[in-house]
Amino acid sequence: MGVNTNNDFIVIKAAEDGVNVIGLTRGTDTRFHHSEKLDKGEVMIAQFTEHTSAIKIRGKALIQTGHGEIESETKK
Ligand code: TRP
């Protein structure tokens, strides 16, 4: 029996160049395992998996999930 992950996709649309979508590992050790760079207008569709327990988004983006929609911002 594997990890009970949710199959829902999350949609990330970059609102500026250089947005980073960072996958963090599942398990006792929480670390970055993947970083994807998106330029303005690019979209990434991702899931939580056996390997990915959290996703960090750095930069300005629109994020849509089954829990709703949120915008990430950059610090001024
Ligand atoms: N190989 C990774 C995994 O299966 C790919 C991945 C899935 C990923 N969701 C992600 C990478 C979210 C970054 C962000 O877990």
The CATH topology of domain 9-71 is Immunoglobulin-like (2.60.40)
* pLDDT above 70 coverage of the chain, percent: 99
Amino acid at 22: I
pLDDT, mean of residues 20-28: 97
CB atoms within 10 A of CB 19: 23
* pLDDT tens track for 25-55: 999 999 999 999 999 999 999 999 999 999 9
Find out whether the beta carbon of 37 lies less than 6 Å from any atom of ligand 1.
no
**Most informative mutation of 32, 48, 52 for ligand 1 (most atoms within 8 A of CB):** 52
Q: What is the DSSP letter of 16?
A: S
Locate the domains of the chain by residue range: 9-71
Which residues are within 8 A (CB) of 18 and not within 5 positions of it... i.e. 6 or more apart? 37, 38, 39, 59
Q: Which of 71, 59, 67 is nearest to 9 (CA)?
A: 67
For residue 49, give the ligand 1 atom closest to its CA: 15
Gap from CA of 55 to ligand 1 centroid (Å): 9
